[in-house]
Structure 1
Amino acid sequence: MGALAAINRVSGRAKTAVSAFVGLCALHLGSQMVEPDGLVAELTQPLLMPALGATLLTATDDRGRLVRWTLCALAASWLGDTIPRFLEGDPAFLSLIGCFLLAQLAYIAGFWPFRREALPVQRPLTALGYLAALVGMVAWCREGAGALLAPVIVYGLNLSAMAALSTGVSTKAGIGGAIFLVSDSLIALHAFADIELPYRSFWVMSTYLAAQSLIVRAVVERPRSETGAWG
């Protein structure tokens, strides 16, 4: 969240978009601390990703591959923030996984041209860290997930791949990808392992917003010549 405020852009529209996003984040996270299921939290969550998308659009003057796939990922994330609230039980959770799976696939598509710069390629032993995170999450959730275990594994594989590939974009993107892993792990551990953290919703949303913000800032900071054509 705070990372995007540091983007040095001349455009007044970009500054306005960043300010709107930071203000929405502050309002939403504050409501998560006070009343996680309250009206303010419900109303502000669907506005977060469109506001972040606006910061990306106004802070970049190119529409290359990386920018466009990132916008697709933010759109899918918006669906994940919005659709599950209209459903209950397993359908709500499956819609959450489905939408964010699309987001991870979009990020993977955007990050793919930078795969040779990714940490697991440059330093193969680091791949063990991402693998350990995936195996650990599945092990914790296996018993409680039941019939949802397969979708959880598929999503976890793509989430881990996204996090690993994000390191090829930049260090900031890699940190964002790693934080995304933490955020989604908090959701899975609560849903399937009955692990309840104090202010869980606040921590889930704060890590989610930090992850998305860092990825977007990294995309903004890539030179235009490196963002690639759409494809």
Structure 2
Amino acid sequence: MSAKQLKTVFLLFLGCSFLQLFGVGFGYAPLIKFTKPLLMPLLALYWWGASGGMNEGLRRLLAVGLLFAAVGDTLLLFDGQTSFFLAGMGAFFLMQLCYIAAFWGLSRGRQGLLVRRPYVLLLLLAFYGLLVWELWPGLGGGMQVPVLVYGLAIMSMAAAAIHLYGILDHRSFRLLVGGALWFIVSDSLLALNRFTSDKMDYEAVPFIIMFTYLLAQTLIVVALIHWKQVGQKG
């Protein structure tokens, strides 16, 4: 894919993101339903075109992960029904597994941060525990296990990103970890908004959830492309 084509695809992604956020911000359902299924396929296409020459396993894992995210996005358009919400969560769970495999693959044979400082995991586990404690009273109808498992998956994804300290260059690492942490913020807000008894009754919450989700996905992709551009050196 040429540089001009890559730029066009990325601009299309940014345009769809803007329209999605506009639709969410103003509660315009037709615009939300039209643009949401397009977001991650466009980002996946950009990733595939920009990541040529990188490890094929990494390229495929991230691309497949983004496509699972597209499936999840589409299913969550119908999240008024528990079955669709669970299916969407399942798609995002598979996305997280792809990201975990991709990030851990980058550290293969090299000593990452968690080997040197395993106590960093305690921070993620503490946040996970607090979040589950807050959500638990509102988790009914068979949602306990799916939420617990998905929560472990996203925390593992963040841990795999943090583990790459000293393996990726500093800028790529900051972008990647930023993406992972914004993902936690987005999904935590979504869960709190859906499952807590005193739901966050703020009009801005859906906008913030979508904005942080798009920011997270974009930062993850941009981080790995930047790592490629600087020569894939730690």
TM-score by length of 2: 0.86
- What residue number does 2:77 align with? 85
Distance across 2 between alignment mates of 1:58 and 1:76 = 18
Unmatched tracts of structure 2, length 5 or more: none
Code of the residue aligned with 1:52 in structure 2: it is L
> 1:78-227, aligned counterparts within 5 Å?
78-86=70-78, 88-115=80-107, 118-146=112-140, 147-167=142-162, 168=164, 170-193=173-196, 194-196=198-200, 197-223=202-228
Code of the residue aligned with 2:158 in structure 1: it is A
Unmatched tracts of structure 1, length 5 or more: 1-8
Distance across 2 between alignment mates of 1:195 and 1:131 = 24
After TM superposition, give the deviation of residue 25 of structure 1 in Å: 0.9
Distance across 2 between alignment mates of 1:12 and 1:58 = 11
More helix by share: 1
Contact 1:65–1:110 (Cα < 8 Å) also in 2:
yes
After TM superposition, give the deviation of residue 83 of structure 1 in Å: 2.2
Equivalent pairs, count: 218
Distance across 2 between alignment mates of 1:175 and 1:40 = 28
Distance across 1 between alignment mates of 2:115 and 2:17 = 35
Q: CA RMSD in A?
A: 2.2
Deviations 1:112-146 (A, max 9, x none): 12345554334322211211121111111111112
Deviations 1:160-192 (A, max 9, x none): 000111221522111100110110001110111
Distance across 2 between alignment mates of 1:118 and 1:28 = 37
Code of the residue aligned with 1:30 in structure 2: it is F
Contact 1:119–1:164 (Cα < 8 Å) also in 2:
no
Alignment counterpart, residue 42 of structure 1, candidates 33, 41, 61: 33
SS in 2 for 1:223: helix
Deviations 1:32-81 (A, max 9, x none): 1111x521111111110011112112222235221210101100000001
Tell me if 1:26 matches 2:18: yes
**Share of identical aligned residues, percent?**
34
Tell me if 1:57 matches 2:48: yes
TM-score by length of 1: 0.87
Question: Relative contact order, CA 8 A, sep 6+: which one is greater?
Answer: 1
Contact 1:114–1:165 (Cα < 8 Å) also in 2:
no
Distance across 1 between alignment mates of 2:193 and 2:119 = 30
Distance across 1 between alignment mates of 2:155 and 2:75 = 24
